[in-house]
A and B are shown apart, each in its own frame.
Chain A
Amino acid sequence: EVQLVESGGGLVQPGGSLRLSCSASGFTFSGYAMHWVRQAPGKGLEYVSAINFDGQSKYYADSVKGRFTVSRDNSKTTLYLQMTSVRAEDTAVYYCVKDNGTYWDAFDIWGQGTMVTVSS
């Protein structure tokens, strides 16, 4: 069974840092691009970041550029999102998402999400 399990969410103070992880199983992780998508409470979906299959190509939404870093460890089948200088507006459920291709295709598998709350 294809599965994505996020972890690392929690309460963080404004200006602080947090690292999210996404453990993948049930598919050849190294063969697919991956993404992070977030959803603020009661709001719609917002795209955050992408990384291609081998980690050589990355993309960030303007809202997180320079503050968030996406990475992956194909040997551990794990995706990461390093969040720094967090702001109140970063409060959201963060979803780890599998791409249907090596670079950019449809988002075919979603994790259940991990909640990040930025508050003092």
Chain B
Amino acid sequence: EIVLTQSPATLSLSPGERATLSCRASQSVGIYLAWYQQQPGQAPRLLIFDASNRATGIPARFSGNGSETDFTLTISSLEPEDFAVYYCQQRSNWFTFGQGTRLEIK
């Protein structure tokens, strides 16, 4: 099983700041990595697929980067609605999720 490790566990930032979230895979997943956002009490939402492609309707401030084992999700300038939990997920070898990064308001 491919293990995905997200860091940090919690990120405290202010609106307008830049957020960088990391996801590391225990073995190469190529570019088959996605990012999801989950607001409290809601279902997750697809943000980025195949490492760097924004899903339909996702604002340009969200961007993804990386390949093989190291990936990042960057939010260029935080909006109030961006404070949520973010998960990475691989589909290279079946499917696994990272443990999540909580992005909270500082």
Contact = CB atoms under 8 A, between A and B. Distances in A.
Instruction: Please say whether chains A and B are actual partners in one complex.
Output: yes
B8 interface: no
B100 A112 contact: no
A107 B99 contact: no
A44 B55 contact: no
Contacts of A109: 46
Nearest to B42: A112
Q: Is the interface of B mostly helix, strand, loop or mixed?
A: loop
Leading 5 A-B pairs by shortest Cβ distance: A106-B49, A110-B43, A45-B97, A47-B95, A44-B100
Given A45-B44, A106-B49, A112-B43, A59 B97 contact: no
Contact-residue size bin, chain B (C-beta under 8 Å from the other chain): 20 to 34
A59 to B, nearest CB: 6
Interface residues of A, number: 21
A104 interface: yes
B87 A45 contact: yes
A111 B43 contact: yes
A44 B97 contact: yes
A62 B55 CA distance: 30
B34 A106 contact: yes
